[in-house]
Amino acid sequence: MSKKYDYLDKINFPSDIKKLSTSELKLLADEVRKEMIDAVSETGGHLGAGLGVVELTVVLHYVFNTPNDKLIWDVGHQTYPHKILTGRKDRIRTLRKGNGLSGFTKRSESEYDPFGAAHSSTSISSALGIAVANKLSNKSNDVIAVIGDGAMSAGMAYEAMNNAGISKTKMIVILNDNDMSIAKPVGAMRSYLAKILSGKMYFSFRETVKLIISAFSKRFSKKAGQAEDFLRSVFTGGTLFNSLGFYYIGPIDGHDIDSLVSVLKNAKEINYKGPVLIHLKTKKGKGYKFAEISEDKYHGVSKFNISTGVQEKSKSNIPSYTKVFANTLVKHAEKDSKIIGITAAMPSGTGMDIFAKKFPSRTFDVGIAEQHAVTFAAGLATEGYKPYAAIYSTFLQRAYDQVVHDVAIQRLPVRFAIDRAGLVGADGPTHAGSFDITYLTTLPNFIVMAASDEAELVRMVNTSVTINDKPSAFRYPRGNGVGVNLPNIYEKLEIGKGRVIKEGKKIAILSFGARLNECLIAYENLVKKGINPTIIDARFAKPLDESLIWQLATDHEVLISIEEGSIGGFGSHVGQLLSDKNLLDNNLKYRSMILPDRFIDQDKPDLMYKYAGLDAESIENKVLDTLNSKIVIKKTN
């Protein structure tokens, strides 16, 4: 195999980087950037964030002794350069594929990933835990957390900083500021001051001054400390971080390798008893012009042409569920000024960017702050507004306490539009919407719906607009619909009522959500075998259509429920109803098809559902096995 890169080909692990000169680090960074662009053009994935931290990644592994020193990346969107430099470059083109590299940090994948992360704002908390463990074990290893300015919008980051500041534990937090301007940079002078403030001489002088001051009164000592803090805040803009107990350095140019090496070496070597925060200014999408000029900096991309920047687009003309939701909500908002759109830093992912173009004053992006988003929506609801909190299923998990206490207990009509319900493919188990059916249907005062196709989603949005006395939620999957015609905005559902899709005999399949299409495929195969099942679109997990389920249980020998969710959800509630109504004593065979009790690794969605046992073939086999089974479920005390 011919040599592709002058430097990167020689780098297998971070120890190899340490053999290079500072000028060679710059050439290595250029090659890492080129390799990352080339790889992601083939695999798709998160591009802009990684391009913005190439120089930082190279220098971190150059200065620190990873994996003994623990390097923790927040979220993980920006870790592709890190993976290239830590023994995984030969597998980088397997990113986000079945049996390939994860798109995020993953402990089981590499010793260079000390903490797995795919949700935002966890790095400082986990780094502090590792740093305290080091202190308790008398270890001197460095711990470094890299967190983006977007992730700093989450309350968890400030909770961690507050704790770290009072713990007096040595750790380094690198704030990668690539969008929001926390402090205005002033060019070379700011970088120079950052080097001075992080240097040994400054710290030695600072400690000497403290010793001299200690001989005088406490009052004088306090004033001297205040004076130092004031001067540092004037020069560095670090007042907030200083007040939280961090020693603030910056901002500095995060693409200037010379500055990065100097500052990070100083931060590593100084004898400061407490956390240090280094503020870097970087450019998301750095080094690839199409990413630099893109509004989202090519945050997440499909496969693309490097020379033109054109991404592969879906060939389907069928709209995505996300777009169907957004367009339907816009139509309602045109008639109802009380409708409010809320997103937690995912406007395009949830369709709220579409809503915002039409109603900018009625759209609120609260940042990566799902807890706040839910309680903010609750506050709006108390004043008669109709808030729609559009949040991915996996991210709504982060606000469960607020859903319970601030919404459900108060019976406030917040509407939850739950995107990415079910398995999501390349993003893997961290982003799968596996648990929302369970964690919402356990709550009193909730209406929980799931769309079987895009037309049903429209009806559920229509229905939710009229629910003014309690909270409601409707879930829908990632990707395009199935290609059905969309109804108008006046078609609503009767609360708690399902619909019969196919009327058959002996066996009934009760589907909740987007597995209905697979049920219909299974139906066609079963009919060929002489089995004619009833197919039901349940529509509601709460309230259940008790009369329909009772009818199915009494008219059929076998009842099978199916859902894209974990144990404790729709099927569990159906089973409870059957038990309560003594319907299991009538020789009814009931089976519940749910996601298995394990996290399912990234792959193509169709394969993931096959592994989960929720595809058409698995449904067909479940029917045949149940019909042939002699086991009858009896009611237990």
Please determine, for residue 587, whether its predicted confidence score (pLDDT) is greater than 90.
no
Q: Decide if 314 is inside a domain.
A: no
| One-letter amino acid for residue 355 of the chain | F
The residues facing 343 across adjacent strands are: 365, 390
Residues 418, 507, single domain; the answer is: no
Residues 167, 38, single domain; the answer is: yes
Neighbours of 219 (CB within 10 A): 8
- Average pLDDT in the 564-580 region? 97
Please determine, for residue 425, whether its predicted confidence score (pLDDT) is greater than 60.
yes
| One-letter amino acid for residue 162 of the chain | N
Q: For residues 459 and 486, give the distance between their C-alpha atoms in angstroms, rounded to a whole number.
A: 9
Residues 55, 156, single domain; the answer is: yes
**Pairing mode of beta strands 534-537, 499-502:** antiparallel
Tokens of 30: 């250029």
Task: Residue 375: give its domain's CATH number.
Answer: 3.40.50.970
Which pLDDT score is estimated for 388? 98
Which pLDDT score is estimated for 195? 60
Of 7, 5, 29, which is closest to residue 82 (Cα–Cα)? Answer: 29
Please determine, for residue 103, whether its predicted confidence score (pLDDT) is greater than 60.
yes
Identify the domain containing residue 21 by its residue range: 10-199+239-292
**Residue 188 confidence class, pLDDT cut points 50, 70, 90:** low
Q: Are 141 and 466 in contact (CB under 8 A)?
A: no
Helices 200-214 and 218-236: angle between axes, nearest 10 degrees: 160
Which region among 312-316, 347-351, 512-516, 549-553 has the lowest average model confidence (pLDDT)? 312-316
Tokens 């803090």 belong to which residue?
A: 229
Residues 194, 338, single domain; the answer is: no
Summarised one tens digit per residue, pLDDT across range 162-171 is: 999 998 899 9
Q: Who contacts 468 (Cβ-Cβ below 8 Å, separation ≥6)?
A: 386, 413
Which pLDDT score is estimated for 2? 45
Which region among 195-209, 265-279, 450-464, 484-498 has the lowest average model confidence (pLDDT)? 195-209
Please determine, for residue 544, whether its predicted confidence score (pLDDT) is greater than 60.
yes
- Average pLDDT in the 531-548 region? 98
- Average pLDDT in the 8-37 region? 96
Q: For residues 525 and 621, give the distance between their C-alpha atoms in angstroms, rounded to a whole number.
A: 10
Tokens of 90: 């030969």
Indicate the SS3 state at residue 113. coil
Q: Decide if 207 is inside a domain.
A: no
The pLDDT > 70 percentage for the chain reads 89
Q: Decide if 633 is inside a domain.
A: no
Which region among 264-268, 312-316, 607-611 has the lowest average model confidence (pLDDT)? 312-316
Number of domains into which the chain is organized: 3
**Pairing mode of beta strands 70-73, 171-177:** unpaired
Bond preceding residue 596 cis, omega within 30 of 0: no
Which pLDDT score is estimated for 300? 85
Please determine, for residue 293, whether its predicted confidence score (pLDDT) is greater than 90.
no
Q: Are 160 and 171 in contact (CB under 8 A)?
A: no
Q: For residues 7 and 24, give the distance between their C-alpha atoms in angstroms, rounded to a whole number.
A: 8
The residues facing 365 across adjacent strands are: 343
Residues 513, 400, single domain; the answer is: no
Q: For residues 563 and 514, give the distance between their C-alpha atoms in angstroms, rounded to a whole number.
A: 8
Answer with the residue of higher pLDDT: 33 or 198: 33
- Average pLDDT in the 421-434 region? 94
Which pLDDT score is estimated for 163? 94
| One-letter amino acid for residue 1 of the chain | M
Q: What is the secondary structure of 78-120 as a DSSP string? A: T-HHHHIIIIIGGGGGGTTSTTS--SSB-TTT-TT--S-B-SS
Full-model pTM = 0.87
Which pLDDT score is estimated for 214? 52
Answer with the residue of higher pLDDT: 136 or 226: 136
Neighbours of 600 (CB within 10 A): 17
- Average pLDDT in the 216-242 region? 53
Tokens 């559009």 belong to which residue?
A: 390
Tokens of 138: 């008398």
Q: Cα–Cα distances in Å, from 274 out to 156, 161, 268, 277, 535?
A: 19, 11, 12, 10, 63
Bond preceding residue 251 cis, omega within 30 of 0: yes
Summarised one tens digit per residue, pLDDT across range 458-509 is: 999 999 999 999 999 999 999 999 999 999 999 999 999 999 999 999 999 9
Q: Decide if 206 is inside a domain.
A: no
The residues facing 472 across adjacent strands are: 415, 447
Residues 88, 173, single domain; the answer is: yes
Bond preceding residue 319 cis, omega within 30 of 0: no
Please determine, for residue 579, whether its predicted confidence score (pLDDT) is greater than 50.
yes
- Average pLDDT in the 561-579 region? 97
Q: For residues 634 and 589, give the distance between their C-alpha atoms in angstroms, rounded to a whole number.
A: 9
The dihedrals phi and psi of 356, each to the nearest 5 degrees, come to: -65, -35
Catalytic residues: 284, 370, 398
Q: Decide if 211 is inside a domain.
A: no
Indicate the SS3 state at residue 510. strand
Bond preceding residue 67 cis, omega within 30 of 0: yes
Q: For residues 251 and 131, give the distance between their C-alpha atoms in angstroms, rounded to a whole number.
A: 24
Q: H/E/C letters for each residue in 265-278?
A: HHHHHCCCCCEEEE
The pLDDT > 90 percentage for the chain reads 78
Residues 143, 188, single domain; the answer is: yes
Residues 503, 417, single domain; the answer is: no
Q: Decide if 229 is inside a domain.
A: no
- Average pLDDT in the 38-44 region? 93
Q: CA-CA-CA-CA torsion for 201, 205, 208, 214, nearest 10 degrees?
A: -150
Q: Who contacts 23 (Cβ-Cβ below 8 Å, separation ≥6)?
A: none
Residues 458, 503, single domain; the answer is: no
Residues 340, 440, single domain; the answer is: yes
Q: Decide if 492 is inside a domain.
A: no
Q: Are 570 and 563 in contact (CB under 8 A)?
A: yes
Residues 442, 535, single domain; the answer is: no
Which region among 95-99, 214-218, 300-304 has the lowest average model confidence (pLDDT)? 214-218
Of 529, 533, 535, 517, which is closest to residue 477 (Cα–Cα)? Answer: 517
Q: For residues 276 and 250, give the distance between their C-alpha atoms in angstroms, rounded to a whole number.
A: 11
Task: Residue 572: give its domain's CATH number.
Answer: 3.40.50.920
Summarised one tens digit per residue, pLDDT across range 612-637 is: 999 999 999 999 999 886 444 444 44
Provide the mean pLDDT of the chain: 89
Q: Decide if 482 is inside a domain.
A: no
Residues 245, 119, single domain; the answer is: yes
